[in-house]
Amino acid sequence: MPAKKYDCLKCPGYCCSYPVIEAKDRDAERIARHFGLPLKQAEKKYFKSAHGYKRIMRRKADPHFGKICQFFDTKERRCGIYLARPSTCRIFPGEGRCGYYDFLSFERSGQEDETYISTTDHSSN
């Protein structure tokens, strides 16, 4: 197996800011179990129907990307339900390359700052 070409622990969570993070039936059941809630209660609390999808993750405010998955820990910059995360998140980015991480690495090198985060939140402009 080839080496991974990205390090999620060094990323500010760009993929978690996608407007659509689909949660399949099994994902919703796993997340409900994670919180010890009945599925019906978890459905109302954690998901919504939008963008043509039956169920996507609800979002919350984020200083870097404007909005991000509600389960994303914005201080630690990582998933707050990692063991219960949806299948969409489990398989990301697929074939071992994350385009945003490549971009982030390039920007950090150019800025000579290993903590630099290119944002998509333009509310401060």
In a domain, 123, yes or no: no
For residue 66, give its domain range: 8-111
- Tens digits of residue pLDDT in 14-37: 899 999 999 999 999 999 999 999
Domain tally for the chain?
A: 1
pLDDT digits (tens, 9 = 90+) for 56-91: 999 999 998 999 999 999 999 999 999 999 999 998
C-alpha distances in Å from residue 13, one per residue of 7, 23, 33, 84: 11, 18, 24, 17
Q: Is residue 120 part of a domain?
A: no
Q: Considering all CA atoms of the chain, what is the largest pairwise distance in Å, rounded to the nearest integer?
A: 49
Q: In this structure, is residue 97 part of a structural domain?
A: yes
The residue count of the chain comes to 125
Q: What is the pTM of this model?
A: 0.80
Would you state the structure tokens that stand for residue 81, as one six-digit string? 């339900």
Chain centroid to Cα 101, Å, comes to 13
Rounded Cα–Cα distance for residues 114 and 49 (Å): 38
